[in-house]
Amino acid sequence: MSYSYPQKPEVVPGIHPDAQIHPTALIEEGATLGARVRVGPYCHIGPNVVLEEDVRLISHVSLAGDISIGARTVIYPFASLGHPPQDLKYKGEPSKTVIGHDVTIREYVTIQRGTEGDKMLTQVGNHCLLMVGSHVAHDCIVGDHAILANNATLGGHVQVGNYVIIGGLSAIQQFVRIGDHAIIGGMSGVEKDVIPFAMVVGERAHLHGLNLVGLKRRGFSSNTIHELIDVYRELFEDTTDIPLLDRVTKATQEFQSNETVRSLLDFIQADSKRPLCMPKP
């Protein structure tokens, strides 16, 4: 795919002279475009938009509100980013949207700005892939290297860790936390927090073991993986009547030298508005 991007002959404040802008694009006064930014046909860029160097908008992209987009991010047609959230409590407060560098945002993706009911911020990390039709609602925080497959949906205030994969047509309920390196099976409805390194599946998602394939691909050592398996069994496969938090306390003492295991245990003990996703009985 290639377009002709005629450079505007006049000097425009905020627009780097190396930026290439298609004549059908509309860029409002106050927008900031870095070096070598390419804006394709029929894009609309609002007055508070910041595009860092080498950002590419293929065509028909709409960017609004106080939004910054990191270097080398590519945005495909009909994506809508930074517009007001689908939240009736939103009253026009000047919240923000931040998208990291080296992100790929495919067709029809929607990412909506934050609200005063939370951090006033919606954020997507670096090196993420948001596939066709995926949705990041207001006040979501998405970590680095996350993948949202086609039509995956994040409700408001969701927190997604690093290297998380969310399968196609899955829906994550508001305020749910998803830990690092977790994987969500396609067409899953996730109503509860997902521990780091986990695999969850199901119409009403349940814990289905550890994401062992992902751990191996990410280069975790055999010793770390085996300790994660041990602590998972101790926490979630033990059939005794010992309360989960007592098991967590015991595991914290046993695995205190393993930072990866400790991150899992810390996640469980952190404050949350949702209970934990657990295995099927």
Could you give the angle at the alpha carbon of 50 between the alpha carbons of 54 and 161, nearest 5°?
80
Q: Is 156 a catalytic residue?
A: yes
Q: Does residue 172 lie in a domain region?
A: no
pLDDT in tens, 87-122: 999 999 999 999 999 999 999 999 999 999 999 999
Which residue, 120, 135, 157, sits at the end of a domain?
157
Which residue, 157, 172, 195, sits at the end of a domain?
157
At 281 the pLDDT is 84
- The catalytically annotated residue of 101, 127, 138, 145 is 138
At 103 the pLDDT is 99
Q: How many domains does the chain have?
A: 2
Cα separation, 145 vs 187, whole angstroms: 21
Query: Are 60 and 131 in the same domain?
Result: yes
Q: Is 241 a catalytic residue?
A: no
For residues 238-267, average pLDDT: 90
Q: Does residue 169 lie in a domain region?
A: no
Query: Are 141 and 254 in the same domain?
Result: no
pLDDT in tens, 174-203: 999 999 999 999 999 999 999 999 999 999
- The catalytically annotated residue of 54, 139, 144, 193 is 139
Q: Is 87 a catalytic residue?
A: no
On the question of pLDDT at 11 being above 80, the answer is no
pTM for the structure as a whole: 0.95
Can you give the residue range of the structural domain that contains 262?
A: 217-269
- The catalytically annotated residue of 40, 100, 133, 156 is 156
Q: Does residue 49 lie in a domain region?
A: yes
